[in-house]
Structure 1
Amino acid sequence: MATSNRLYGSLAGLCIRAAVPCAILVGGWVGYSKLSVQEEDAPISVVEKRILRTRVVELEVTDYPVLIKTQGIVQSHNQVTLTAEIAGIVTKVSPSFETGAYFKAGEVLVEIDPRNYETALSIAESQWLSAKSALKIAKLNEERKLRLILSNAVPRAEVEEASATREQAEANADLAATQVEQAKLDLQRTKVLAPFDGRVEAKSIGLGQMANPNSPLGVVFAVEFTEVRLPISGYQLPYLTLPEFADDPPVDVVLRDAINDASSASWHANIVRTEGVLDENSRDLFAIARIEDPFGRETGRAPLRVGQPVVASIEGEVLRDVVVLPRAAVRQLNKIVLVKPEDQTLLPITVDSIWSDSEHVIVKSSAIPEGMWLATTAMVYAPEGTKVDIIPEASATSSLADSTSKDAEASIPQ
């Protein structure tokens, strides 16, 4: 019995040891069978050739009026700081001397206590009367001495002394008269008058405050007209004729609000002079434009306030026999794509502009072959001689600036 059990155990161990290699062989065969099957190749996609499509515009030779745009800030042409010329307490401030208020030339804006100066004037006038009386006595005494010397009744020394006394009395009378004028002037200076028709920018003194000579009372500016400094670049100068002398004709300018683009307000101005020197940083020449009645007090138009940023449009020279290109159709500053009408093939060329602005690029008519169309759709791939489809005008619902490369689908030969 024991022998049978040992035999049975040996056979079981032998079977287990034989099963492991068999399992490995079976697994290898199954894996080989799976990997040795050739997979079918994926179908190769065929690249569909697509034709370039573009919008076009006809090019015409025309005359183009140059419109120069620049910017500036409205400035007062005459701004002064009012100061007191004498000392005293401020006893009155005009309602016209408030920030933003208008005033007329000669209007009393500030009054200083005049009592001290009225007293000084009375004293000066009394001294002048006394000096005039002394002069009158001195003249009478001199005349009497001159008559007596004719009869040798008095010595010549007394005559000379009388003449000297008269001269001294005349000098005293002149001094007293000058003191009267000074006292009158000081009394007048107790009233601060408006130097011109203007407006108050800032007030720096109030009722009851002490004013001293040269102490500021406020800042005012004239409202008859204002001015704008407009920078003109060296590129723009050849297309403008600016006034250099007083008798040169002014140049018309239209100003618009530079803050609110939606505003329809505009103001007419005239360039009346230039500053005569180039700005040392930008090398621009500043032209001075004048705006009459800027606050609309006489015309009733919208006010153009000091400090207002404005955009200026200036009419320049007229360019003759040129071609006007939409700026959106010009690539890399000087490259355009033309379309030959006869076979609708592309002709990319390089052009030199003689003028450009935010909307147009102007070239000489000789730079464009006659009868060509201009491609206005952005095309990344536009080789010469490529045939294109023209997008009809009816489908061109978007502007030139909204054209995208979606309209230009190029196929590159494989």
Structure 2
Amino acid sequence: MSDAPPSPTSKSTRRAVAGLLIVALAGGLWIERSHLAPMLNELQGSSQAAAAKPPVQAKGVPVTLTTARQGEFPLYLDGLGTVQALNTVTVRAQVTGQLIKIGFTQGHMVNKGDLLAQIDPRTYEAALAQASGQLARDQAALKGAQLDLERDAVLVKQKALAQQTQDDQAALVGQDQGTVQADQAAVQAAQVNLAYCRIVSPVTGRAGFRLVDEGNLVQPADAGGIVSIDQVQPISVVFPVAQDQIPAIGKALDAGQAPVLAMAEDGHTILSKGTLSYTNNQVDAATGTISLKATFANEDNALWPGQSVTVRLLLNTLKDVTLISEDAVQHGPDGLFAYVSGDDDKAQMRPIKVAQTGNGQTVVSDGIKPGDKTVTDGAYGVQPGVLLDATINQGTPQQVPPPAGIDTAQTSSTSANPAQAVQAQK
């Protein structure tokens, strides 16, 4: 049986549905376009505005630059020293007796001639009086013998007295003269012993603790004595240096007074300024060092006997050298180098040769010239040719002031230990 043809009603229904679909699609497109149009216009405007703006420059690597300069660089020899009193005197009794007075304050300064202690003088006053009496008696006897000798001489001339008698009298006068001289010496000894009862300071210095109290019997055989006096103005510092530094030290002494700094253990605080005074007469074979002694005025009592200090001896001063910050020196596989900012603010890597370094600064013998701007901070992010966003460092590293005798114009120089100097490298 064949299929029946579609009815007119079904055809019209399909046409109506198709028309509705077309209308709905057209409406959706209109709605979508109405919403997208402003967005498209905004994007188009933004693109045009962006195209109108100038391009943003790339930021450089942030670094700090310090300018290399020409100046002076003192060469110091560093060591560890021990402060010693210029003179140390142990005050002892020189006569035996009871200590009746202490005349000093422990730990305080005393002047030369000040009373330190008093020994009971009565025994020695009596001894002096006895010696003086003996002297007076023997002087009277001598005078009588001399008068007898004069009379005997007259009688001998008159041949009224034998010559032998005169000779005997002359011998007696000689004996009495000897006795008087002995008595005079006894009086002087008694005077000295009496003076020893008053014990005075032989030097100006600082008194230590008293080692004996009032009321005790003191005598010359006492090992400890009464007190120790340290002469601390001026004061000395003894320090050893390596024997290979002897020629340089000799040159420094030949050039004049060699300035010395005594510094605290932190290596920065200056306690006192002095000069090199003596060198020992031989090298210690066990350590390979020679001892030096420097003298300091110590007017402010900054140095105390037994104190440990860092000593800096000025050996020489390098003149007109190129100085850069120690922070600018970089270590690479081919040696030492520094980053320098070029005229285009881009980094340049410069191989350098270092002659000396210390206390925050470095002497460069090649690779850097005065006026070059070296990178001292931020170098970890720098490569040759990169753009630098630089901040100029207007200051300089902390400097140690020069010792006494160095012109203040040199205060910008830094110190270095020749034994620890950085060797020149390519």
When normalised by structure 2's length, the TM-score is 0.64
Tell me the SS of whatever aligns to 1:269: strand
Q: State the secondary structure of the residue aligned to 1:331.
A: strand
The alpha-carbon deviation at position 288 of structure 1 amounts to 0.8
Measure the CA separation in 2 of the matches of 1:147 and 1:201.
70
> How far off its partner does 1:328 sit?
6.3
Alignment partners' CA distance in 1, 2:226 and 2:371: 72
Corresponding residue for residue 271 of structure 1? 275
Contact 1:53–1:388 (CA under 8 A) maintained in structure 2: no
Contact preservation (8 Å) 2:61, 2:388: yes
Using the TM superposition, name which of 273-282 and 366-375 deviates more. 366-375
SS at match of 2:355: strand
Give the alignment partner of residue 115 of structure 1, picking from 107, 113, 122: 122
Q: Please give the root-mean-square deviation of Cα atoms over the aligned residues, in Å.
A: 4.1
Structure 1 residues 80-125: Cα deviation after superposition (integer angstroms, max 9, x where no partner): 101111111111111x1x4202222212211111121111111111
For 1:58 and 1:222, the matched residues in 2 are separated by 48
**Residue of structure 1 equivalent to 2:419:** none
What corresponds to 1:132 in structure 2?
A: 139
The 2-side partners of 1:260 and 1:314 are apart by 13
Residue of structure 1 in register with 2:99 after alignment: 90
Partner residue in 2 for 1:286:
292
Number of the residue aligned with 2:26 = none
Give the drift of 1:77: 0.8
SS of 1:222's equivalent? strand
Deviation digits for residues 323-370 of structure 1 (CA, Å, limit 9, x no counterpart): 43515624389932344748957657462x332214223122x45489
Match of 1:224, SS state, is: strand
User: 1:389 aligned to 2:393?
Assistant: no
Contact 1:294–1:305 under 8 Å retained in 2? no
Q: Provide the residue aligned with 1:141 in structure 2.
A: 148
Cα distance change, pair 112–307 in 1 and its aligned pair in 2 (3 A): same
Unaligned runs of 5+ in 2: 1-59, 398-426
Deviates more, 1:73-82 or 1:60-69: 60-69
What amino acid sits opposite 1:87 in the alignment?
T
SS at match of 1:203: coil
Cα distance in 1, alignment partners of residues 217 and 332 from structure 2: 68
Contact 2:145 2:172 in 1 (8 A): yes
Identity of aligned residues (%): 17
1:106 alignment partner, SS class: coil
Matched, 1:227 2:236: yes
Q: Which moved more, 1:69-78 or 1:308-317?
A: 308-317
Pick closer, same or farther for the CA change 1:333–1:146 going to 2, 3 Å.
farther
Partner Cα distance (1:339, 1:204) in 2: 66
Distance 1:338 1:357, change over 3 A: closer
What residue number does 1:356 align with? 357
Q: How many residues align?
A: 327
Match of 1:180 in 2: 187
Match of 2:89 in 1: 80
Q: What letter is aligned with 1:357?
A: G
Q: How does 1:8-407 map to 2 (within 5 A)?
A: 55=63, 57=65, 60=68, 62-66=70-74, 68=76, 70=78, 71-94=80-103, 96=104, 98-215=105-222, 216-229=225-238, 238=248, 242-243=252-253, 250-253=257-260, 255-258=262-265, 266-271=270-275, 273-275=277-279, 277=281, 279-280=283-284, 281=287, 283=289, 286-295=292-301, 303-311=302-310, 316-326=316-326, 329-331=329-331, 335-339=335-339, 341=342, 347=349, 349=351, 351=353, 353-364=354-365, 366-368=366-368, 374=374, 376=376, 387-394=384-391
Using the size of structure 1 for normalisation, the TM-score is: 0.65
Alpha-carbon spacing, 1:172–1:381, altered in 2? closer, same or farther (3 Å): same
